[in-house]
Amino acid sequence: MSVQTKQKSHRIHEGTASRTFDIVNVILLVLVALICLLPFVHVMAMSFSSNSAVISQKVFFLPVDFSLEGYRMVLEDASMMRSLGNTVLITVAFTIIGMTLTILAAYPLTKRELKGRSVIAFMFMFTMYFGGGLIPEYLLMNDLKLLNTLWSLILPLTFSAYNIIIMRSFIESSIPASLEEAAFLDGASYWDILFRVVLPLSKPVIATLCLFFAVGRWNAYGDALYYVSSNSRVYPLQLKLYYLMGMASDAANLAEGGTGSYVTAEVIKATCVMFATIPIIILYPFLQRYFVTGIMIGAVKG
């Protein structure tokens, strides 16, 4: 609305300078957009080209000698499919547990009658700024016997103070207290109110936070490198890709993973990159919308 009025006001005094400004502005933005997009387009073009075309460096932004060979090989690779399965599994479990914890923590924290509310809130928020760090967390996984299991990638990060803050400020700002009070008068318990009043009205923020959890888990590989690098059966997709690309750059890694000596065809590499990105691309329209919503709620109280 305000944007529209701004645009109208620009039009009143349309001078040459202003028009030049517009043209330069659009050209620069197109350049920026291309810089963002082209690396991606190039890898996609490689993934759909034949290996020989890629090796002879003929591929730029369009597939040369179109071929689905790379995709066939990736889909037939058992270890690749197992990594995909691992990632799907941990992403789903992580999102469900994370969301459960977030809801159960955020709702009571919106209640003034909760004694010790500020202490609990502080205790949660403190974890955003301070933590034990890599080694103590690694030793915890070791003590819990979770090293080299999928659980080490599911459990530790499900408690997210940042997401709890977002959920809490959404409930506080968007759910009218009168609705909850009316339910109270009807004899509803806190559980009833949470499930019948608060959650149905929180669908947008739940969708947003589910995507935060899911994308975060899908994309992360650091914890997998720390916790499961000696068991290739539980590699998630990103870690698999990490070894496949030959990124394990220090000697210890090569020894541990035993996979550092990969010499992988360029087409396969490009295809794997695409393979791990396709789900993100498919979900992208939702991701964009809901992530922006989340940023906005988070910015109010961050």
Partner 1 sequence: MSVAASRKGKKAFHAGAYFKRYWPLYAMLVLPMAFCLLFKYWPMTGLAMAFKDYKVVRGIWGSKWNGFSNFQYLFSRAESIGVILQTLKLNLLDLLFGFPMPIILAIMINECRSKAFKRITQTVIYLPHFLSWVIIASMFIMLLRTETGIVNIVSASLGGQKVPYLEDNHLWQIVYIFVGVWQSMGWGTIIYLAAITGISSELYEAATVDGAGRFAKIWHITLPGIRGTVVTLLIMNLGRVLGSSFERVNSLSNPYVVMKGANVIATYIYRVGLSQGKYHYATAMGLFQNVIGILLILIADRFAKSMGESGLI
**Residue 100: CB minimum distance to partner 1, A:** 7
* Residue 50 burial (CB count, 10 A): 19
> Residue 185, class by beta-carbon neighbours within 10 Å (0-12 exposed, 13-18 middle, 19+ buried)?
exposed
**Residue 66: CB minimum distance to partner 1, A:** 18
- Which member of 95, 208, 238, 271 binds partner 1 (CB under 8 A)? 238
The answer to whether residues 233 and 149 touch, using CB atoms and an 8 Å cutoff, is no
Residues 202-221 touching partner 1, rule: CB under 8 A, are 215, 218-221
The span from the first CA to the last CA of the chain, in angstroms, equals 27
Which residue has tokens 């919503």?
Answer: 293
> Residue 48, class by beta-carbon neighbours within 10 Å (0-12 exposed, 13-18 middle, 19+ buried)?
buried
Q: Does 37 bind partner 1 (CB under 8 A)?
A: yes
Closest CA to 229 of 238, 239, 237: 239
Residues 149-168 touching partner 1, rule: CB under 8 A, are 155-159, 164
The answer to whether residues 254 and 264 touch, using CB atoms and an 8 Å cutoff, is no
- Which member of 62, 75, 282, 299 binds partner 1 (CB under 8 A)? 299
Q: Does 176 bind partner 1 (CB under 8 A)?
A: no
- Which member of 23, 119, 252, 263 binds partner 1 (CB under 8 A)? 252
Q: Does 187 bind partner 1 (CB under 8 A)?
A: no
Q: Does 269 bind partner 1 (CB under 8 A)?
A: yes
Q: Does 247 bind partner 1 (CB under 8 A)?
A: yes
The answer to whether residues 20 and 37 touch, using CB atoms and an 8 Å cutoff, is no
**Residue 78: CB minimum distance to partner 1, A:** 21
Token digits for 7?
């645009």
Residue with Cβ nearer partner 1 (12 or 263): 12
Residues 80-139 touching partner 1, rule: CB under 8 A, are 100-102, 104-105, 107-108, 111-115, 120, 123-125, 127, 129-139
Q: Does 262 bind partner 1 (CB under 8 A)?
A: no
The CA distance from 266 to 54, in Å, is 7
Element at 98 (helix H, strand E): helix 78-109
**Residue 203: CB minimum distance to partner 1, A:** 19
Q: Does 40 bind partner 1 (CB under 8 A)?
A: yes
Q: Does 73 bind partner 1 (CB under 8 A)?
A: no
Q: Of the ranges 64-72, 73-81, 196-204, 244-252, which one interacts with partner 1 (CB under 8 A)?
A: 244-252
**Residue 167: CB minimum distance to partner 1, A:** 11
**What is the sign of the dihedral through the CA atoms of 59, 63, 68 and 70?**
positive
The CA distance from 228 to 226, in Å, is 6
